[in-house]
Amino acid sequence: MTKLHAVGLVTEYNPFHNGHLYHLTTAKRQTGADVVVAVMSGNFTQRGEPTILDKWTRAQAALANGVDLVVELPVFHAVQPAHRFAAGALQLLDALQVEQIVFGAEHPEWDFDQLVAAEAQFDPQEFHDYHATYASQFNAQLAAQTGYSLTDPNDILAFSYYKARHEAGYQFDLQPMQRIANYYHQQTITGTIASASAIRQAVQTKQAIDDTVPEATAAALAQLINVPDWDTLYPILRNQLIQTPVQQLAQYYQMGEGIEYRMQAAAERSLTFADFIKQVKTKRYTYAYLTRLCLYVTLGITKSEVANAVANPYLHVLGFSDQGQAYLSQIKKTVTLPLIVKVDQDLKAGMLKLDYRAGKLYQMFTPVEQDLKHAPIRRLSRK
């Protein structure tokens, strides 16, 4: 049997749009890969927001448009700052034996290996300004040493991929490609390729999006009644913050520096999520950090649970094409992590318990069971 070669993508597909289609087709063309493997965030994004469509619907759209294998990036990797998000995703792609990883960047011409080397020379004493975020302090040192600043989200991720590869010693090739036609945070649709943020905003305001997304995504979005958001989840978070002793809140993942007191006080005063997050915000913390922390609290995810989960990674397959199935057969005897195709009661209570909890929370927005006994989606070859 001819050996199949795979290219890896790190994705959220929130939702899958024409820019993503360009990304995957370009990645396959420029690498000559036989198989496209996507590691995709589950039901919550890196910033701690619920995804606009559930993970199965997004996996279906990816498969319908040319991805051959979709594997879930677990919640304890997916809802993280860039360096931990990247490290978790690359660990899974390494286990899946991809030979190249292709990703979008605003400045693909930059020498990211050089920037990683520069970071190794940073002075730790320069990170103690409690009136500035870590990101701003990081960029101040990076600019001083190299003249570059990492301000665009995709450049930050690109840097994080190179750093993760360097630290873990992975052998695959990293290939940044130029993002086209839009910026990550662009909020308006100006053509057939728009940012995911602009598409979500358009869905929220009932604007047309069909020209910016493939048919599978358009059909799924057309069925949405309400866009998932923190306004819906806030009563659960608020109750958790008010009812939980502050000493227990301190055990939740990423809680520190006494911010549990600030969050509990804000929850007691705030009836809306917008008001709550405004009261908690300081110059020390970004909105992304705070939203991630809100999700950890809502799910009751503790520091020890994350440490245990990170130490016991796995591959949860959400879907595959015929070619993807053939690739799984090719690597299954040498894959280094547990390969999961269906979640049973033991996995629900054990290895996948954090994803199971996240899936149950997401069912605030959908009646579809997100994990237990859910078989992978199969895409048959086109005749």
Chosen domain end from 264, 279, 307? 307
Check residue 15 and give its pLDDT.
97
CA distances for 372 relative to 55, 251, 358, angstroms: 14, 28, 12
* DSSP E strands, the chain: 6-11, 35-41, 69-73, 100-105, 173-178, 315-321, 339-340, 377-379
| Residue 146 maps to a domain | yes
Question: CA angle 102-342-27, nearest 5°?
Answer: 10
One domain, residues 49 and 165:
yes
Check residue 187 and give its pLDDT.
66
Tell me the C-alpha distance between 13 and 213, whole Å: 11
Check residue 210 and give its pLDDT.
93
Nearest-Å Rg of the Cα atoms of the chain is 20
User: Is pLDDT of 159 > 70?
Assistant: yes
Q: Which of 347, 294, 342, 22 is nearest to 177 (CA)?
A: 22
pLDDT in tens, 170-220: 999 999 999 875 554 566 787 899 999 999 999 999 999 999 999 999 999
Q: Which of 231, 70, 96 is nearest to 170 (CA)?
A: 96
103 neighbors 27 (Cβ within 8 angstroms): no
| Residue 30 maps to a domain | yes
| Residue 209 maps to a domain | yes
199 neighbors 213 (Cβ within 8 angstroms): yes
Check residue 130 and give its pLDDT.
67
User: Is pLDDT of 374 > 70?
Assistant: yes
Please tell me whether residue 34 adopts helix, strand or coil conformation. coil
- Torsion sign across C-alpha atoms 325, 329, 335, 338: positive
One domain, residues 162 and 272:
no
Cβ neighbors of 72 (< 8 A, separation 6 or more) are 39, 40, 41, 42, 55, 316, 317, 318, 355
Query: Which parts are annotated binding residues for ATP?
Result: 10-23, 104, 154, 179-180
More confident residue, 144 or 182: 144
pLDDT in tens, 328-343: 999 999 999 999 999 9
Query: Which parts are annotated binding residues?
Result: 10-23, 104, 154, 179-180
Check residue 127 and give its pLDDT.
66
One domain, residues 237 and 345:
no
User: Is pLDDT of 266 > 60?
Assistant: yes
One domain, residues 214 and 324:
yes
Percentage of the chain modeled with pLDDT above 90? 84
pLDDT category at 138 given cuts 50, 70, 90 is confident
Tell me the C-alpha distance between 317 and 38, whole Å: 10
What is the rounded average pLDDT for all residues in the chain?
A: 93
| Residue 169 maps to a domain | yes
Tell me the C-alpha distance between 189 and 197, whole Å: 9
| Residue 285 maps to a domain | yes
284 neighbors 343 (Cβ within 8 angstroms): no
How confident is the model over 287-294, as a mean pLDDT? 97
> How many domains does the chain contain in total?
3
User: Is pLDDT of 124 > 80?
Assistant: no
Chosen domain end from 307, 335, 367? 307
User: Is pLDDT of 79 > 60?
Assistant: yes
One domain, residues 102 and 180:
yes
One domain, residues 267 and 331:
no
How confident is the model over 65-85, as a mean pLDDT? 97
Tell me the C-alpha distance between 196 and 23, whole Å: 14
One domain, residues 128 and 272:
no
| Residue 203 maps to a domain | yes
One domain, residues 21 and 33:
yes
What are the b/e assignments for 214-239, b being 16+ CB within 10 Å? bebbbebbeebeebbebeebbeebbe
| Residue 351 maps to a domain | yes
One domain, residues 78 and 195:
yes
| Residue 1 maps to a domain | no
Check residue 328 and give its pLDDT.
97
More confident residue, 356 or 181: 356
Chosen domain end from 283, 307, 331? 307
One domain, residues 221 and 235:
no
One domain, residues 357 and 251:
no
How confident is the model over 269-297, as a mean pLDDT? 96
Percentage of the chain modeled with pLDDT above 70? 95
User: Is pLDDT of 383 > 50?
Assistant: no
List the domain range (segments joined by +) for residue 193: 6-107+154-227+312-379
181 neighbors 187 (Cβ within 8 angstroms): no
How confident is the model over 370-376, as a mean pLDDT? 95
Q: Give the DSSP letter of residue 2.
A: P
Which amino acid does the sequence have at 210?
A: D
Please tell me whether residue 371 adopts helix, strand or coil conformation. coil
One domain, residues 235 and 263:
yes
pLDDT in tens, 223-262: 998 899 999 999 999 999 999 999 999 999 999 999 999 9
pLDDT in tens, 12-61: 999 999 999 999 999 999 999 999 999 999 999 999 999 999 999 999 99
